[in-house]
Amino acid sequence: MADKEAAPIERSPTDSGVDPSLIQWFMTLTPSERLRVVQNYIRSVQKIRRANRDT
Amino acid sequence: VQTETPDFLALLEVLVTHDVEFVIVGAISAVLQGAPVMTFDLDIVHRRTEQNVARLLDVLANLDAAYRGHPNKGLSPGREHLLGPGHQLLTTRLGPLDLLGAIEDGLTYSELVESAITMKVDEFEFLVLPLKLYVDLKARSPLEKDRARLPVLRETLKMNLNSED
């Protein structure tokens, strides 16, 4: 039997479909880290789009 | 003109080091306050005084700013544009930058500065539109893109308020 403490924590999104754990994680970051996350996201999207354009 | 990826921090630092007076609004203001939302541009409301606009024009020249999507490539706003309430949507070498003379409800720098919060980002301090006001303004927006963000913004606001208790 799996250890109760080691079991994954299941969470449900809010009624509106928002994942609170994502917000909780984002709020642990500093403001400059939050900006960097956005920039890295944009960079990743551009990389994927470029890769698909070039194929 | 524009870099591949925006560098919002660098853009903000250039504005601050040139003593431009502004309030960060838009999605970046929400990101700074913990909302995991995505955006591709930086929106600011600048103070519309002769001195501040002169400083802003220096920054724009420095950043090779030009109107986004304008057929006349390289065209940039002049003093009279920045003194008015309109929106100047620009590209710069550090990423897209929207200069807003006023936002919803006709709110200008002078009004926003009263309610703005000061946030420290690295070694710089910025005035930022409070998340509560951002949510209130977007809740009344007729634009679908604004309304789509509301659930995550409201949840973030709730968590921000809970963490203050």
Looking up tokens 């994502």, which residue turns up? A22
ipTM of this predicted complex?
A: 0.87
A22 vs B36: CB contact, 8 Å cut-off? yes
Q: Structure tokens of B105?
A: 């409800």
- Using a CB-CB cut-off of 8 Å, the residues of chain B touching A41 are 38
Nearest chain B Cα to A38, which residue? Answer: B38
Confidence of residue A51 (pLDDT cuts 50, 70, 90): confident
Spatial separation of the C-alpha atoms in residues A22 and B153, rounded to whole Å: 12
In this predicted model, what pLDDT tens digit does every residue of B111-161 receive, in sequence order? 999 999 999 999 999 999 999 999 999 999 888 988 999 999 999 999 998
- Using a CB-CB cut-off of 8 Å, the residues of chain A touching B39 are 38
Predicted pLDDT of residue B164: 78
Minimum distance, in Å, between the CA of residue B43 and any CA atom of chain A: 14
Q: Which of A16, A34, A42 sits opposite B151 (nearest CB)?
A: A16
Spatial separation of the C-alpha atoms in residues B105 and B85, rounded to whole Å: 12
Q: Is A38 on the interface with B (CB under 8 A)?
A: yes
Q: Is A44 on the interface with B (CB under 8 A)?
A: no
Report the residue of A14, A18, A22, A28 to disrupt the B interface, i.e. the one with the largest count of B CBs within 10 Å. A18
User: One-letter amino acid identity for B117?
Assistant: I
The reported pTM is 0.90
Mean pLDDT within B32-40: 95
